[in-house]
Amino acid sequence: MHAALPPALREAVDEFARHLASVAGRSAHTVRGYVADLVSLFDHAARMGRTEPAELDLAVLRSWLARLRTAGAARASLARRAAAARTFGTWAHQTGRLPQDPAAALASPKAHRELPAVLRADQAAAIVTAPGDVGRQRAERGEARGQEARGQAAGTRAHPASPAMLRDRAVLELLYATGIRVSELCGLDRADLDRARRVVRVLGKGARERSVPYGVPAEQAVADWLRLGRPSLATPASGEALLLGARGGRLNPTVVRRLVARYARVAGLPATTPHGLRHSAATHLLEGGADLRSVQELLGHSSLGSTQLYTHVSVDRLRAAYRQAHPRA
């Protein structure tokens, strides 16, 4: 579809992509999404006979969204595409490609943001310790088959967890302890950890850097991984990546999503994702008394409105507060 665009529109797409990546500092994932949305818009515009960026107007934008809605696009998809159009419109107007910005007047449906279920504190503890439980179970089965003697031949007991399990424990502990995004977790290097102060340096959306503390259990899991697990998986191509995949490369977010889902099943929990652990961490912080601004900083939200999505509280806590505070409770 990109190759079939009129030359002026295709050039505008490419210039916009370069701007997003090099100037705006957007991630590769964001750039791909915006470019795909813009190509869809320009394909629709070309079908309406518009071959130059300057010919883009509000009528084209509205008919594009209407066509997508008729085709069954979800509200969230329409909202995302309208946001991409508005971002392009602002840039194109500022750079002289559009005499005025028609996208500024473009209305779009509010995306319904459905938050993942919140794990209870005991459930969160169950999932982050699940790799150790699996390791112990495997060690016990191995001992039953006579492997204990080989493991103790030198008078020491073999560590029951494999390198992958040590990594998985570090992944789960860090996700829940810090509430960082899965992409931020996978982007961590060893130098990003200040283990003496138990603080991790995180590069978030828009290349914004923040420091996030983590607790003693996460530090122990990281220490075990770095001492006993990472050396077994590391290759010359590993570089400084903190977390490694099976072949020694930097751990992939898709792998993290799979392992979170797997250990949730092991722990007998509902379907859980890395974002679910982030959501649970934020909720538990707020329920424990952390103020909204602090949680906003820890999560790396540019807007306090994003953090406010996490301010729902459990029914039990709400009832307790009501009974304590209301004179007619």
- From the list 50, 167, 284, 301, the catalytic residue is 301
| DSSP assignment of 251-312 | PPHHHHHHHHHHHHHHTTPSP--HHHHHHHHHHHHHHTT--HHHHHHHHT-SSHHHHHTT--
- From the list 81, 86, 97, 278, the catalytic residue is 278
| Annotation says 278 is catalytic | yes
Q: What is the pLDDT of residue 317?
A: 59
Distance of CA 172 to the CA centre of its chain: 14
Q: Which pLDDT tens digit goes with each residue over 193-249?
A: 999 999 999 988 777 889 999 999 999 999 999 999 999 999 999 999 999 999 999
| Annotation says 205 is catalytic | yes
Q: Which pLDDT tens digit goes with each residue over 5-18?
A: 999 999 999 999 99
Q: What is the pLDDT of residue 286?
A: 83
For the cut 50, the answer to whether the pLDDT of residue 152 exceeds it is no
**Which domains, from first to last, does the chain contain?**
7-105 (1.10.150.130), 121-272 (1.10.443.10)
User: Which secondary structure element, helix H or strand E, spans residue 43, and what is its range?
Assistant: helix 28-47
- From the list 19, 181, 279, 284, the catalytic residue is 181
User: Kind of pairing, strands 199-203 and 193-194?
Assistant: antiparallel
Q: What is the pLDDT of residue 21?
A: 87
- Pick from 82, 109, 104: which is nearest to 92 by CA? 104
- The 3-state DSSP class for residue 193 equals strand
pLDDT interval class at 126 (50, 70, 90): very high
- Pick from 93, 303, 275: which is nearest to 206 by CA? 303
Q: In the predicted model, what is the mean pLDDT of residues 114-143?
A: 74
pLDDT above 70: percentage of residues in the chain: 83
Q: What is the pLDDT of residue 311?
A: 64
Q: Which two tokens stand for residue 50?
A: 């518009």
Residue count (the chain): 329
- From the list 205, 210, 257, 262, the catalytic residue is 205
For the cut 90, the answer to whether the pLDDT of residue 308 exceeds it is no
Q: Which pLDDT tens digit goes with each residue over 68-113?
A: 999 988 888 888 899 899 999 999 999 999 898 988 888 766 656 6
Q: Which residue has the higher pLDDT, 296 or 177?
A: 177
Q: What is the pLDDT of residue 7?
A: 92
pLDDT, the chain, mean = 84
Q: What is the pLDDT of residue 44?
A: 94
Neighbours of 227 (CB within 10 A): 11
Amino acid letter for position 11: E
Q: What is the pLDDT of residue 154?
A: 38
Find out whether 34 and 26 touch, Cβ atoms under 8 Å: yes
Per-residue DSSP letter, 234? -
For the cut 80, the answer to whether the pLDDT of residue 305 exceeds it is no
Q: Which residue has the tokens 């505070």?
A: 325
| Annotation says 275 is catalytic | yes
Find out whether 40 and 60 touch, Cβ atoms under 8 Å: no
Q: What is the pLDDT of residue 318?
A: 60
Q: In the predicted model, what is the mean pLDDT of residues 132-136?
A: 62
In the chain, which ranges are E strands?
193-194, 199-203, 209-213
Q: Which two tokens stand for residue 242?
A: 């903190």
For the cut 50, the answer to whether the pLDDT of residue 155 exceeds it is no
For the cut 70, the answer to whether the pLDDT of residue 149 exceeds it is no
Q: Which pLDDT tens digit goes with each residue over 250-288?
A: 999 999 999 999 999 999 998 999 999 998 998 888 888
Find out whether 270 and 264 touch, Cβ atoms under 8 Å: yes
Q: What is the pLDDT of residue 156?
A: 35
Find out whether 285 and 298 touch, Cβ atoms under 8 Å: yes
Amino acid letter for position 49: G
Angle, helix 7-18 to helix 75-94, in steps of 10 degrees: 90
